[in-house]
Amino acid sequence: MYSRTSPYTTGRPLINPPTYIEYHGLRFLIVDAPSSNNLPLYLQEFERWNVTDVVRCCEATYPKEPLNEKNIQVHDFVFVDGEAPPAPIVDAWLHLIEARFNLNNNNDDDGDDDAEKTQNGEKLPCIATHCVAGLGRAPVLVAIALIEEGMPPLDAVSFIRERRRGAINKKQLRYIETYKPRSKNKCIIC
């Protein structure tokens, strides 16, 4: 277990620790929604995991500026709580993943919790995503990324739930079960 305290606070840890998900070189951190009061704790975790982007799936609960000052881009991909993401949000999410990770040069990582992983001497990027509790909308986006990278849908749900108990509701599970990958269905011969 790693320390979850910040030198900028009273030393209290985050109530819900971040959940690290890694698969084939894709690195994600699922968290609950930071507030202005506990944002320094989250910033410490984001720095530890080399978070380059934060995706907010819920209404803003903190200002973007402290993250921008740390060279972390904030993306607002807000959609309805308990629901599946609409197509434009899925498109934006997949575009961000493609832009942030070199998907043609995957590492087939073993998924161990190593924040210091490097490639060519540089820390690998990580995308943090959150909704209110980090149990619905954020895990659904991560499941979509895992499916796009070749993981079967139900395996993606299990993979996430093993690391973040209570993630993904029944309605979202039905969506994930029927999700068709966009990037891996392209015919090379065509």
Q: Which residues carry out catalysis?
A: 81, 131
Q: Tell me the pairing of strands 118-119 and 122-123.
A: antiparallel
Structural domain boundaries of the chain? 19-178
Closest CA to 74 of 86, 65, 85, 83: 65
Backbone angles phi, psi at 123, to 5 degrees: -65, 140
pLDDT (tens digit per residue) in 99-153: 998 654 444 444 444 445 555 556 789 999 998 887 788 999 999 999 999 999 9
pTM of this structure: 0.79
Fold of 19-178: Protein-Tyrosine Phosphatase; Chain A (3.90.190)
Residue segments in the chain with a per-residue pLDDT below the cut of 50: 1-11, 104-115, 185-190
